[in-house]
Structure 1
Amino acid sequence: MIDRKTSEKLQLLPTLNLDEAYKMAWQAEEQAKETKIMWNQEEILNVNKLGKRLVADQSYQSRELCKGGTMGRSIPLREESKNRQCWWCGRPEIHGKEKCPASKERCFKCMRQGHFARCCRERKINFMDNEEFKLEVNLECEDFKTKVKFLVDTGADVVAIPKKLLDNGCKIFTCSETIRGPDGSPLDVEGFIWIQLSYKDRIYKGKAFIINNLQIPILGKPAISKMNILRLCNLAEVCNSDIDIEKEFPNIFNNLGVFQDTFTIKLISNPVPYVQSSPRVVPLPLLDKVKEELSRLVSLGVIVPVEEPTMFVSPIVVVPKGENGVRICGDYTQVNKNIIRPIFPIHKVENTLGRLKGAKLFSKIDATSGFFQIKLCEESRKLTTILTPFGRYMYNRLPMGLNCAPEYFSMKFSNLFHDLEGVVIHVDDILLYSKDRESHIKLLREVLKRLSKEGLTINKEKCKFLVEEVTYLGHVINSKGISVDPKRIESIVEFRVPSNKKELMQFLGLVNYVGRFIPDKSTLLEPLYGLLKQGNAFVWDRCQQQSFEKVKYLISRAPTLCHFDPKSKLIISADSSSYGLGAVLLQEDDTGKRDVVSYASRTLNQTEKNYAQIEKECLALAWAVNRFRDFIIGIEILLETDHKPLLQILHTKPIDDLTPRLLRFRLQLMRYKYQVIYVPGKKLVVADALSRAPLKDTEVEAELNIKYISSIGWVDSKLKIIKEEQSKCKICSQLKEYTVGGWPDQNKIAEELLHYYPYRYNFSVQEEFLLFNTRLVIPTSLQKSILGDIHAGHLGITKCRERAKQSVWWLGLSSQIKVVVENCPQCIQERSNKREPLIVEEVPNRAWQKVGMDLFKNKNMWYLVIIDYFSRYFELFELKDLTENSIIKHCKETFSRFGVPEIVRTDNGTQFKGKFKQFSEVYNFNHVTSSPYFAQSNGCAEAGVKIAKNLLNKNADMYLALLVYRNTPNETGFSPSELMFNRKMREILPMYPGNLNNKVEIDNNLFRDQRNCNKGKTADNYNKRHRVIKLNDLNVGDNVWVIDLRKYGLIVRKAKEPRSYFVAIDGVQYRRNRWHLIPAPFKNNKENNTYGRDIFEHFQHKDQKCNNNCVPGVNEDVVERTELSDNNDTNSETAEFETPEIQSQSFKLPDRKRTKPKWLEDYVCDYIQV
C-alpha cells in the first residue's frame, strides 16, 4: 500500500480481510482522485489489481506492493517532504548516498544505478501507460519462431500466451494443472507448449500455457527471474539498520584479509614426490582470461612465480566463472595422498539448519575468498606449486583443492565463534539468527568485531544484514521454515527430456537433492527408474513423459518445512510398498498441531523387494530412524506403522525368536528411545505416498552376511538338494508365496497350511531358501535323512534338539527327535537309566526282628557281616572258606546267642542258594534276596560292610574296635548295644558302676517313629541330590535292553520285589531291577539284522554294524521252548565264584495285539505279531 495514511488505517483494524482491504483502498483511491481533480493536482494515486494476472499469490502480491514494485501499477513519484525523505530510496530519513540501500540498485524506468524507480527524476508522468511494462522477446517453439511483445507481470506464476499467436504446426500438450486468475476463478486453459524465450543473451526454457480469450501475452516470474529482466528486492534488505557497518568497521570490506596465524601442511613420513612435466591445455578462448586471473592473484599476493625446483608440481583446472571470468584451481590429487589431514567435523547442511527454531531475523556473512585469507608457511608454499601455460606459481595462501583446506578453515572459523549463540558456520559461510532486532544487532556487532580483530574481510556483495528471509546453503530460510532455493530447482524445471540413461541419471540426481522437500511424488518415479535397470532398453514412452513432467511440476511447488524444535514431540511415520520406502519426520506442539520437518524416500533394491511384507515394514522403520538419526538421538520418539504385528516384534517378542532380518532391524533400533504405535493405513497417508514414489537411494544398504546358512556345516550339494526339494514341495512353495506376497486371512488358507499360520512371521526367503528364523525349512521328502544327520553323533535328546535349532526346522521336529533318540539301537545299548526315588524301608518293631547279611573281602580275607536293621548292631566273622556250610555255621552260632530273626535279607550269591534255603526252612525264617547287581536294594547290609571295612583298616584289634562301635551312641542317642540289650556294656573307657546296673528304658514305638522320620529326610535329600525320576513301568511282552548283560530280552513277568522283573534272554530267565532295563520297542529279524520300523533304517551306517548279541526282541523259535531260571547275580565280590543254577520249565508268552502308535501314522511299519 503506497498511500501511507490508508495503510496505517488498515493496520489498526483487528479483523481485516483481503476483500475489505481492497474495498477500503479503492474508496481511498476514488476519494483521492476526486480531491486532486478539484485542486488540479498532477499525480494520481492508483490502486490497481491486474486483471490478467495468473495464479497470483496474495502474500506475494502484498509483499511486492510493500516493496514498491512497479509492474502493472502506477506509483507516486512526488516526495512528501524533501526535508524528511532520501532522494535516492524515498525513506523518511536523511543519510549519505554510500549508506543508502538504493546505492547498488538499478532503476526500473531509466535502468540507471543508484536510486529506486519511485524516486526516478527522468520524467514525471500522471499515468504510466501499459507499454512501459511490455518487452519484446524472441519466442521459439519447435520450428516456429517469432518476436512477441510480452506484458511483464511479476505477480504471474506462469508464462501465458493467447492461442491466436501460435502457428498451426505447434504441438499443444494436455494440461493437468488448474490456472486461476487474480480473483481465484479458473481460466480456460487450452493446454501448454514447450518454448524457448531469448532476451539479449539470456535464455529461458519452459512451459507456456495457452489461455483462451487472453488479449496480450504475459511474462511471469519464472521467465523474468531467469532472464534477469527485473531484480525482486526484499524489503528487509533495503530497510535501514541500526548499525553503520562501514563506519564502525572500516576495514571489514577491504579486498583480502588474512589470519594472523600461518598454516603448516603436514606430510606423511615418506612422501612420494610428483611433478607435472607439461601444462594442461587451456582452451584458446580462456587463455587470456587465465593470464588476467594469474596477474590478479599475483597482485593480491595470493600466488608468486617460482623458479626453484619443488617436490610437487600439480596441473591446473580452469573453470569459467560468471560471464567474463575464470577460476583457477590446482589438481592436487597426488599431493593429497601425502598429506596428513587435520580431522575436523563438517556438519551436514540438514544438521546445520536444524538449530533455527524461533529465529525471525537473519544475517549472512561470506568471507572474501575464504581460503585465501589463511597464510601458508614457507615450506608448505612449495607443496602448492602449479604448472600453467605461463610458468610455475606457488600459493602464499591456502588454495582450494587440498584435502586439508576445508577442515582447517572450518576449525579456524568455528574456534573464532564457538562461544556465541545464534551463529551457524558452514566452512566460510556464516549465518546469524535471532528472535528480535536488538539481540541480532548485538550479535552482528560482536561477530564483525571478531572478524575485524582477526584481520579478516567479508564480501559485501554476498552479505545480507538484518533480513527476514535469507538464502543460505541452497535453502531459503525465514521465520516460517525452510524451503528450497528457486535457483537450485531451475535446473530441474528446465531440464530437457533425457535421451539416454546418463542424462536420466543426471536428472534423478537433481531430484534427489530436493527430495526432503517433496511430500508426495505418487508413483511417478517408478517408470523412470525402470529405464535404469540392467538389461532394459531405453525407451521413452508416454508413462515416462508424464512422470517426468509431473515431477518437475511438484518440485516447482516444493513446500516449506518447519524449523526443527527438539522440545516438541517427535513422530516418525514410515511405510513400505512393493518397490519403495517412505518416511516423514513430524513434530507436534502443545495444541496437537503437527508440522513437517523433513520427508524421505528411497527405492528398494532387488534383494529387498523379495523380503516378506513384515520385513519390508520393519525395514521402513529402521531406515527412517537411521535417516533422521541426527534429529532424534537422545529424544524419545513415536514410530507410526500400519503393520500391527510390528508392535509385538519390536517390543515384547524375544530376540531369539526373530528372523535374522527382523533381528537386524530391531538391533538397529535399540540405540534409540522409541515407542511403536499402530496407525491404520488409511491414516498413514504421507508415508504411504512416499513409499509408492521413492527416490533412488544413492547409498546401497549393506546386507548382513548370511552366516546362518554357512554355519550349517553341509556341503553345497546338500544345500542344492534342499533348494530343489523345496521348489518341488507343494507346502514349501505355498509358504514361499505367502511369505513374499503376504499371508491371507486365516479362513482363506488351505487346510494343510493352517498349522503354519501361527508361525507366519517367522518365515523368510533368503537366496531362494525358505527359512524359519535362521533355520532351513526341510521338505517332507528329506526329513528322514535329516533326522539321521541330526543324530549322527548319537547325542541325547536335548543336544540333538539344540543341534537342530542351529540349522533346520519342520513341524513336529522336536517330538520326532525324541522318538529317534529313544529308539536308536546304539543309544539304547550305551544308555543308563536315571536313578529312581529312594524306597524307604520301615524300621522293625524290635531288635533282631530283621537282619541283613553280606560277604566282603578285605586284605585278601573274606568276612561275613550280620547286621540288625533295628539297632545297627552287627556281628563280624572271618571266613576260612566261602562254602554254604561255613555261612550256615556262623548263622547258627549267631542265632543261638540272639535268637532266630523273622527276616534275613541277602544278595543273590551262590552261598545263599540250595542248603541255605533248606536252612531257612528248618530255622523258620523268611529269606529275602535283593535285586541282582543292584546293591542299593540291600542298603543296610552294604552299610554294615562299609563300617566293618573302616574298623578293620584302622584297628589292629578287630574285637576291641567292635566293642567300641557297639557301645558308642549313634544319631538316635542310643548305642547299638543299648538298643540290642537294653543296657550299657563295660569297656576300656572308665564308667560309673551304677550306670551298668541301670536298665535302659527305650520306647520302641517312639524310637521307631524317630528313625522313620530321619530316614524320610535322608530319602528327600537323596532324591534332590540325584534328581531322581520315576521310570515308567514295563509290561509283559515289552522288549528291553539289559544293561549289565548287554543283551536284548523280553519281559516275562513282574517279580514280587519292588521294581523288579523277570526277563527272558535266549530261553533263559533273569531277574533284574527296573534300573537295568532300557525299553527297546522294536522287533528282531535275525535273517537280515534290520528293524521292522523303517524310520530307523538310516541309523545303520556303513561303519556301524550290529553283532548278533545286539539284535533286539526274541526269536519265535526260542519263545516256544523258553526255559525260566532264577539265576540271580550279585554285585559283591563273591560274584566271580558264582555258577548260575538254572531251573527249567516250559512257558509261553501271552497273546497280545500290537497296534501302531499315533506318532508313526506317517510311516510304513512292518510288525511281527507275537
Structure 2
Amino acid sequence: MKNFAAQCSFGSNLIPVLKDKFTTGMKDGPIKDRLYEEETTKDLSELMEVAMKKEAAIKTTNIEVHSIGRSREGAKKKNGNGSQKKLSTTMGGEKTTKKNYDKACYVCGLTNHKFSECKYKQYKCKNCNTVGHLAKVCKTVKNHFVEVEENKVMDMFQVEVKSENNCGLSPVMISVKIENVSIEMEVDSGAGISILPEEIVKEKLPHIHINSTVLKLRTYDGSIIKPTGEIEVKLKYGERELYGKLLVVKKGHRALVGRDLMKKLGITIMGISKIEVESTNKNNKLELLMNEFEELFEEKVGKYKYEKVTLKVKEGCTPVFCKPRPIPFAFKKKVEEELDRLEKEDIIQKVETSEWGTPLVPVIKPDGSIRLCADYKTTVNKYLVDINHPLPRVEDVFVALQGGKTFSKLDFLNAYNQLELCENTQKLLAWSTSKGIYLVKRLPFGTKPACSKFQSVIEKVLLGTKGVKNFLDDIIVTGSSEQEHLDNLREVFKRLQKAGFRLNKKKCSFFQPKINYLGHVIGSEGIERDENKVKAMLNAIEPKSVTEVKAFTGMVNYYAKFIPNLSTLLGPIYNLLKKEVKFVWTKECREAFNKTKQAMASESLLVHYNPDLDVVLSCDASEYGIGAVLMHIFENGEKRPVGYASRILTVAERKYSVIQKEALAVFWGVKKFSQYLLGRKFFLETDHKPLLALYGEKKGIPVMASGRIQRWALYLSEFDYQVVHIKGNDNKVADGLSRLPDKDDVLIQTKEVDYVDFMENTMPIDYGILRVETKKDKEFSLVIKFLNEGWPIKVSEELKPYAIRKEEICVDKDILMWGYRILIPKVLRKDLLKEVHSTHMGMSKMKTLCRSYMWWPGLDKDIEKWVQSCRTNFS
C-alpha cells in the first residue's frame, strides 16, 4: 500500500489514509475486532504492532504448536473408548483437552472441531468472494506447505500462507548460499519449515547426502506429503552464517525459506507483504544486497550469454599476418605464464594456422605484472567497419536520472573481455606469439568498434529499467527514495548477473549525493556546471617571472574576441612586459589576474559539450607542469573551450625527458577528458613533432619505447583520434596552463615498476655501480642532459648513435634505457662481456642474449672480437 500510495497526491493526508485502509481492509476476524477496540488517535505503526501481537497470540491460543524433534510421548493420554487426546495451550496458560479430528475443517482448515461447528461458516472468502470458507483454504488458490507432523509424536505448525497470486504481488526472492552454492529461494512466512525440491538438490548439491526423516507435511486441503528426506547444510545470507536443516521434497517448483530460518538469517516481516532485513542501516542493506548477488562481484571475467560479437572488415581487404615481436628474456617466462592463464580461462585458444596475426607487446603494469597487448593498429584496425551506435546525449541522461536523491555508479570488471566473439571474428583478431598462434575468443582492448559495441549491448540488457542510464562501462543508478534506489539497484544487479556479467566492486560507488557527467553535476536539486572543468583556470598560480606573464597573456589573448575590454583588464599585467620595467607583482596585478581568470571561466566564453560538433584536445608540458584544453570547432573555424585541465608534475616526473613529459601531457589530457572523447573521433593537437611517431593514429605500440610510454600508448589505442602537429605559437592555451598549473591538482605519487626493475634480477651486474658509472661516463652525461633540455641540431660523431634513438632512450631510476635494454657505460662493458661468455657460448647465441638485455654503440662488433679472441673457441 505504501508503495502504491507514494505515487498518489495525498500529501499530508497520506498516513491517515493508510491507517484507514489498513483497518478497514483487514479481513473479518479477531484481529480486526481487536483493532476496532483501539482509540482513533493511535497512529499506523501502533495499530500494526497491535495487529501483530494479536496474530501471535492467536497462534499460541488456537493452534497446536510444539517444537519439531521434541518427543510428546509423555503427553499422550487415552480416554475410555480408546481415542487420543492432546495437550493444547490456552491464553491463560492452563492445559485443556481438545479433540483431534481426522480431517481438517474445510471452512477454516483447523482440526480441533467439526466443520458444522466452525465459527467462520458465515465469513466471506477474500479470494473468490464466496460465503462459507476462509481465504486460506480457498480451492482457487495454490498454497505452499504449511503444516508439519511427525509420526504421531510430533504436533503441527499451522498458519496462513500468502497466495502466489494474491494482490498481484510477485514472490520475494533472495539468494542464499547453501554449501557455497547460490540458490534462489522464496521468502514465505506462511511456511513453517524451509524446503528444497529434490531436483535442485541433485543439480546443485549432488555431493550432499539426503538423510531419512519421519517428518510429514500437510497442506490446507488436509492431504499429507512425505518428504524425500532432509539435509543438514551450511547456509549463508548476507552476514549471517549458520548450519540448518532443510526438508527435501520430490515435487516443488521452488525452494522456500520458512519461519524456521527467517529469523536466523536476519529476515523479519515488516507490515504487509514487505520483507525487510533487521538492520535499517543503509550500508547494511547495501551490503546484504551485494551479498545476495555475490556472483556478480566475483573477481573473474564474466561472459555475456545472449549474443556473440561480430566485427566486419571492409570489402577487398587483404589479411595481414605479422611475425611475433621479440620478447626480452627477462619477460619470457611471465609472458608464457600469462598466455597459459588466458587459455585456461577460455579467453584465447591455440591453433595451428591463421590468415590474420597481430603481434603482442608485453606491457608492464605499475604493480609489476605483465599485460599482453595486441597491436591491432598495425593489422586489422584500419580495415574494421565502424559500429555507429550513438552514445547517450546529456539530455537523455538528465531525463533518465530526474528526481533522483542519491546516485550509484557501477563499473565493469574487464568490460570488453566479457563479450564473446563469433568464430570469424576470433580469426580476425588472432594473436601471433613466440609460443604459437592463438584465436581470441573475447572482445579485446584496442579494437576500434569495441566501445560502441559494448554500449549497445548494455543498453539492451538495461532496457526498461527505471532511474538507470549507462555510459560505456559505467552504469548510473538512482531513485526518488532510498528504498527505490535499492530496488533499482536490485533490478540492475539481477539483469547483469542473469546476463553473465561481472562488476568491479572496488571501483563501484554507492549512494553519492552528486555525480559528474560531461561537464555537469547532477544532484538531488537538479543540474549545475561542473566546476572541475574550469578549476585549472581559476586555480592557476600567479606568474613569478616575465616568461610566465607572457605564457598567461598568450593564453588569454587566444580567446580575446570573446572577452570584452580584455586589454583594459590586463593593463597592470601588460606593464610588466615593458622594457626596463622591473618585475614586481603588485596588488593591481593580482586583481587583474583574478578578474581575467574569472572571465576565462565564464559562461560567455565556455561552451557546453555538443556531440554534433568537432572536438580538439590541445596538450602541452613545461618543466614543472602539464596542461590541456578541450575545445569545440564551429563551422566558421572558431575554437571555443569546453574545459581546462592542468597539474603540477611530481618530483619523479620532473626528471622525465622532454618527449616523456610531452607524452605524459597527452596521456593525462585524454584521460582527464575521456568521458567526452570515448566513442567519437577527435583531433589531438601537440607542438612536439616527435609525438607523431609515438602516438600517431596509424602507428603501433612503440616496441622500443619505455614501459610507461607503452602503457600510455596502449591506453590511447582505445580512442579514435588524429594527431595534428601545430606551431608553438598556436598552442598558447595548453602552454599557459602547463606553465601556471593548478596548484591544488597534485598527483599522489605511487611506486612505478618498469623494465629496469625486471632487469635487476636477471643481469650479472651491480646496479649501484651501474648508476655511479652512468653519471661518470662523459657520453652518457651529455645524453642525459640533451634528454632533459632538448637535443641540438648537430651532435658529435660519438653521440650520433644516441641521437638516432633519442625518442626511444630514457632515464629510469638513474639508468639509461633504450626500450627494455640497459645502456652500459664504457668502463663496465669488458667485464660484462667476460661474464656473459663465461660458458663459452657461440657468437650467434651470445649476440641474441646480449641484445635482449643491453646495448651500446658497436655492441655486435665487440661481441665478435671477444668470441674470436677466446682460446676455447679457437681450439
Q: Which has the higher contact order (CA 8 A, sep 6+)?
A: 2
Larger radius of gyration: 1
TM class, shorter-chain normalised? 0.3 to 0.5
Question: Under a length normalisation based on structure 2, what TM-score does the superposition of the two structures give?
Answer: 0.39
Question: Under a length normalisation based on structure 1, what TM-score does the superposition of the two structures give?
Answer: 0.30
